[in-house]
Structure 1
Amino acid sequence: MPRVTLQTIADRVGVSRMTVSNAFSRPDQLSPTLRKRILDAAQDLGYAGPDPTARALAKGTTGAIGILLTDSLRYAFTDLVAGSFLGAIAEELAPTGLSITLLTSAGTEDLIPARDVAMDGALVYSCDPTSPAVAWLRRRKLPMVFVDQAPVEGYACVNVADREGARDTARYLLELGHTRIAYALAGAHGQHGLVTDRSVLTEGWASVQRRLGWDDVLDEAGLTPVIIREPFERVDAIRRDARELLSRPDRPTAFLCFSDVTAVGVYQAAEDLGLRIPDDLSVTGFDDGPTASQLRPALTTVRQDVEEKGRAAASALTAALQSTRDGKPSPTSHILLPTALTARNSTGTAPDS
């Protein structure tokens, strides 16, 4: 079957090749009637449309933005908080026609997504800032926005008040009389399990800020926490570590958890040991995603507006893209969204107070 081109359609309709091209790429240049004739002819001839790669080269844009995540993309589909964040971005970008490409920060010898995937700009989300992938994006001079990351000079950044929210939670536990408090931290690398060295590296902007907030309050009160640390998605490992800690005679009476998902492992450990929440053990989380209200008893947690964070990130990136098109410097605003402690039934007065 002969290859159908723009000229084939032009010959069928009796117009110029440029007119056919405008029907696909610049519809405002044609009357609705003429455009419909051209599109109908294209459909009859089996023409799918201009080649996307050629079109991108001609326009100098791809119509796609990348979202750089961790080494694994799995949690983008399994974590409810990440899903809400990505959904808000997609909704905000829908009117612009921009599509989303998820990028892993890992790569192979032949393919490094941050280096090789075509995109107009990128959101760096929940990613190791020292990752070579971030360096590749910067080397490409792409418009970028950093989300849940340490602010980077020259780029817009969107964060939530992690440290302030963590302080509120720790103060709340002290007001309830708790003095034996444990941290359930998240971290992919380094020491896992029961951490005896308080100086152990805490990875990721959100993890660091939340731990700093807890430390601010406990240090002032002269209290030393016990710490367990596992990759945030490893609920089974958190359950194991928490069970070991809660089996001790001097077990903690409260847990400060990095996230609501982390708290699930602590709940499971308490159930394994026959401990009642909150009578024997108080548990707090962070995020206030769907998991928090689904747990029984419902989880005391710090609420962040994940959807607003997604909308703010998408808006900041579209502003950066527009600045690039206009030949202007990208906006470098630092957006800090508030958090709020949401007290539910997983926290109560310390059993020994």
Structure 2
Amino acid sequence: MAQRVTLQTIADHVGVSRMTVSNAFSKPDQLSAGLRRRILATADRLGYVGPDPAARALAKGTTGAVGIVLTSSLGYAFTDLVATRFLGAIAEELTPTGLALTLLPSTEGGGVSPARDVAMDGAFVYSCDPTSAALDYLVRRRLPLVHVDQQPTDSASCVNVDDRGGARSAARHLVDLGHRHIGLLMSGLHGPHGLIDPADITIDGHAAKERLLGWRDALDAAGIDPIVVRQPATDLDQARAGARLLLDRPDRPTAVLCFSDAIAETVFEVAEDLHIRVPAELSIVGFDDNPIATRLRPMLTTVRQDVEAKGRAAAAALTAAIADARSGIPHLPRRIVFPTELVVRESTAPPPARLSVTE
């Protein structure tokens, strides 16, 4: 039977103390570069990969990991271009800290709730249902939290973008072009889906609520009642069905405001299926300015948000909250709101009726 390799085993081979070997793994700044290289080379030769992470976490009182909980399935984090850019910015910002990022589904599986059961030093709550049991577990664990694209709260740092201002500028752009028959293609988890009476919309989600308010700011001022369709969050098949509800009708709108660029892409697809020309017969506006926007033909008019800056700010806020918790310092939550910017490209133009008048 092979002999178990321990810190003492390595110390005996190198001729140093056990503490010196331990420092080579956990406090490298305490050793000279040459000595640390010699200790790690010996450990590698003997087949030792390092102290047990669970034991080290127990001894230090920290896990070296932070979580991020999403309402949507974890697959969303790998397929949605906005989510992947956001997570990439967080991961890059966390790299110098040594903190690992753990994706947490919001639902339980096999009696296990990751938000309740996974060891972590803090967590991001990203575009998450505020009634989620996962969020409740995180709060009850008293972990340092940062909310992103959530309703601001006094108990945790919040990072958002100016969703309302961005949506308002998008709707005003269409009004200024002369559109008066405008559709809204929204996203949401709870409440009614499909074609909806604008007066009866039940909105969940901070970003959806703010974008609707922004659209209505401009449309109400112009005396415009939009046609509204709502589809389940992140379900692009449902988004296509919603786009068809807007476009496959005798009184179809001349322009559509979309909750995201990904949803706007589905409107392009349905318009093509129905032989509706963009922008000659239909103007389309998205939100996010993700890479889809410039790949579409014509290129998409959209509202730009700085997803990478949002990710970096969220990571900095969480590491600060964790540092305060470790030091026993009362943490002062931050409230950060990034500006948005309307980017006018080729998918918007005056409505057909106005074109014929000016010809």
TM-score by length of 1: 0.96
Q: CA deviation at 1:197?
A: 5.3
Partner of 1:136: 137
1:1-353 matches, within 5 Å, as 1-108=2-109, 110-196=111-197, 198-353=199-354
CA distance, structure 1, for counterparts of residue 272 and residue 202 of structure 2: 30
Aligned residue for 1:298, secondary structure, equals: coil
Structure 2: unaligned runs, 5 residues or longer: 355-359
CA distance, structure 1, for counterparts of residue 24 and residue 242 of structure 2: 63
Give the number of equivalent residue pairs: 353
Q: CA deviation at 1:8?
A: 1.7
User: Retained in 2: the 8 A contact 1:232–1:261?
Assistant: no
Q: CA deviation at 1:109?
A: 5.0
Q: CA deviation at 1:129?
A: 1.2
Aligned residue for 1:352, secondary structure, equals: helix
Aligned residue for 1:269, secondary structure, equals: helix
Partner of 2:357: none
Cα deviation digits, residues 41-77 of structure 1 (max 9, x gap): 2222211110000001111111111111124111100
Query: Which residue identity does 1:333 align to in structure 2?
Result: R
Aligned residue for 2:201, secondary structure, equals: coil
Quote the RMSD (CA, aligned, Å).
1.4
Change (3 A) 1:46 1:228: same
Cα deviation digits, residues 11-59 of structure 1 (max 9, x gap): 2233332222222222233333433332232222211110000001111
Q: CA deviation at 1:251?
A: 1.3
Aligned residue for 1:250, secondary structure, equals: coil
Change (3 A) 1:160 1:319: same
User: Retained in 2: the 8 A contact 1:243–1:272?
Assistant: no
Change (3 A) 1:214 1:331: same
Query: Which residue identity does 1:321 align to in structure 2?
Result: I
Query: Which residue identity does 1:326 align to in structure 2?
Result: S
User: Retained in 1: the 8 A contact 2:72–2:234?
Assistant: no
Query: Which moved further from structure 2: 249-258 or 108-117?
Result: 108-117
User: Retained in 1: the 8 A contact 2:190–2:203?
Assistant: no
The list of structure 1 runs, each at least 4 consecutive aligned residues, that deviate by more than 6 angstroms after superposition, is none
Query: Which residue identity does 1:204 align to in structure 2?
Result: G
CA distance, structure 2, for counterparts of residue 48 and residue 315 of structure 1: 30
CA distance, structure 2, for counterparts of residue 169 and residue 30 of structure 1: 58
Query: Which moved further from structure 2: 125-134 or 237-246?
Result: 237-246
User: Retained in 2: the 8 A contact 1:124–1:134?
Assistant: yes
User: Retained in 1: the 8 A contact 2:198–2:226?
Assistant: no
Change (3 A) 1:350 1:47: same
Query: Which moved further from structure 2: 229-238 or 138-147?
Result: 229-238
Query: Which residue identity does 1:240 align to in structure 2?
Result: A
